[in-house]
Amino acid sequence: MSETVHEDARADDQLLRDHVAGDPSAFGELFRRHQDRLWAVALRTSRDPDEASDALQDAMVSAFRRASTFQGNSKVSTWLHRIVVNACLDRMRSRRSRPTVPLPEQGDYLAPDPRDPINEHVARITVHDALAELPEDQRAAVVLVDLEGWSVEAAAEALDCPPGTVKSRCHRGRARLAQVLGNLAPPTPVSTTKPTNPEGPQARREGGQS
């Protein structure tokens, strides 16, 4: 994903302070700045694009209203991601108590993009399907740590559980994913480096925008 050039040069924490102080456009800018990452987390955690869309909207409205409670103990982006993840989990728990029949198709968001290499699309759809096989707690941990490149500590903070629990969930989730993905050929080329999120909390700790 290409870097987006933002006209607003204010840092995230400044935008949030300005929003609390009454700036009507500050929170919108904060959302625009992080919307792709927030959407990716919502979609991968929820599995369903409609649920992800609803959860993302719920989360942003909630964050808008609760901005004054932000303590500044974490990055603003971490705080936003945490609200999105929790909104997704809340909706899934709610939906679990009201079971519905899932639609067979996955939606337009997975339609092949003619500009994308075929392998990239195959990798996306298969990993997405494999993630759907994981229990929600394992999926949330794998999404944040292995796909979004968060540190275990940041994921633990977002998921409100000990780092050891995140490690355990990731371990079990990976084992399950390996089994589901076992018959598929790995996409080429394969990098063996640990994933890092260029906009995520892990990367920002190394000097990115707060």
Burial 33-49 (b: 16+ CB within 10 A, else e): bbeebbbbbbbbbbbbb
If one asks whether residue 28 binds another protein (CB under 8 A), the answer comes out as yes
Note whether 84 and 21 are within 8 A (CB): no
Task: Using the rule CB under 8 A, give the single segment among 75-83, 91-99, 106-114, 150-158 that binds another protein.
Answer: 106-114
If one asks whether residue 167 binds another protein (CB under 8 A), the answer comes out as no
179-188 long-range CB contacts below 8 Å, 24 or more apart?
A: 180/129, 180/130, 180/133, 181/126, 181/127, 181/130, 184/122, 184/126, 187/119, 187/120, 187/122, 187/123, 188/119
- Among 99, 104, 114, 186, interactor with another protein by CB under 8 A: 186
Task: Using the rule CB under 8 A, give the single segment among 31-39, 68-76, 90-98, 156-164 that binds another protein.
Answer: 31-39
- Among 146, 156, 158, 201, interactor with another protein by CB under 8 A: 146
Note whether 38 and 63 are within 8 A (CB): no
116 to 121, 122, 133: CA distances (angstroms): 7, 10, 25
**Nearer CB in complex with another protein: 38/101:** 38
**CA 16 distance to own-chain centroid:** 20
If one asks whether residue 187 binds another protein (CB under 8 A), the answer comes out as yes
If one asks whether residue 1 binds another protein (CB under 8 A), the answer comes out as yes
| Listed residue (195, 110, 208, 95) closest to 155, CA to CA | 195
What's the min distance (Å) between Cβ of 168 and another protein?
10
- Among 72, 93, 120, 210, interactor with another protein by CB under 8 A: 120
**Nearer CB in complex with another protein: 97/115:** 115
Binding site for another protein (CB under 8 A): 1, 22, 24-25, 27-28, 31-32, 35-40, 43, 49, 52-53, 56-57, 60-61, 64-65, 108-110, 116, 120, 123-124, 127-128, 138, 142, 146-147, 149, 172, 174-179, 181, 186-187, 190-195
